[in-house]
Structure 1
């Protein structure tokens, strides 16, 4: 299995939209109403929104490929692009998603390692993320990677308010 991680460019916006919508639906459709899910998808993953995010110098997207197929992606934020004010010594992993058919093959680990590499290159002191309190697989993965819960915040799926745990890892 040949695994490659490549940085997304502005020209990747449509492919980014496709993988974003597909993996988000796979991850959350069973626990959320179609109305709430679609409202979120329309807002968060519209082509205009993704182009806006791709143009932000404080955000970076990466595709993980298995062979020639996009199997998942990563989004990291620094500075003002972070979804919470965590300061300039922090890097946020805002999105890390892998298609269902590619899960349990270590791709999440490859993407998280990429985020750690970026944090170290930029001399960040901590890396953090938000994860839905009911996403037990993701929480277990992050704990295994050394993240600890450091807070929580609201996340809106349409107009359904949910709780994301904030998990942080201090870098040495």
Structure 2
């Protein structure tokens, strides 16, 4: 097997420590500079606590997939349907809650691979729209999603400590 060709596989509970580490690393890399160290630490401890991730991983309406190159996990995808979606949405909607790519592996096309997987999963589930939230100041991600055919369908407030931030909700009809 070529060590440079990415592979994708579903995450299992045995992957929880790796999932937690990548979640904390990528979130801090992306949002750390916009938050106080104290607020960021509290958020990371709460959002990516082992018990919380375990609950998310055992929810039948949520699915996690690792993207791996050789033996290195470069990032992951988390998708939700039904009541697992982070916003109230119609039943024919499919949420991409997280595409987290580790900093060293960004700009290699791995985000594209994961968004294409999400779109295929949504089609396989007979959903008519895929959607996600993206921070208003995450220009790289916003540009990526625009190039992928997503457009703004709403917004919501995302709070980290005392900082209230705006996430744009983006959607794409399938």
TM-score calculated relative to the size of structure 2: 0.96
Over 3 Å off, 4+ runs: none
How many residue pairs match? The answer is: 171
| In structure 1, C-alpha distance between the alignment counterparts of 2:106 and 2:151, rounded to whole Å | 23
Q: Give unmatched runs, 5+ long, in structure 1.
A: none
SS of the counterpart of 1:23?
Answer: helix
Q: 1:161 aligns with which of 146, 161, 164?
A: 164
Q: What is the match of residue 21 of structure 2?
A: 18
Q: Give unmatched runs, 5+ long, in structure 2.
A: none
Q: 2:154 aligns with which of 148, 151, 155?
A: 151
TM-score calculated relative to the size of structure 1: 0.97
Q: 1:99 aligns with which of 68, 92, 102?
A: 102
Q: Could you list the per-position Cα deviations for residues 102-147 of structure 1 after superposition, in whole angstroms to 9, with x for gaps in the alignment?
A: 0110000011011011001001000000000000000000000000
Q: What is the match of residue 141 of structure 2?
A: 138
Give the Å deviation of 1:63.
Answer: 0.6
Alignment of 1:100-115 (within 5 A): 100-115=103-118
| In structure 2, C-alpha distance between the alignment counterparts of 1:158 and 1:6, rounded to whole Å | 34
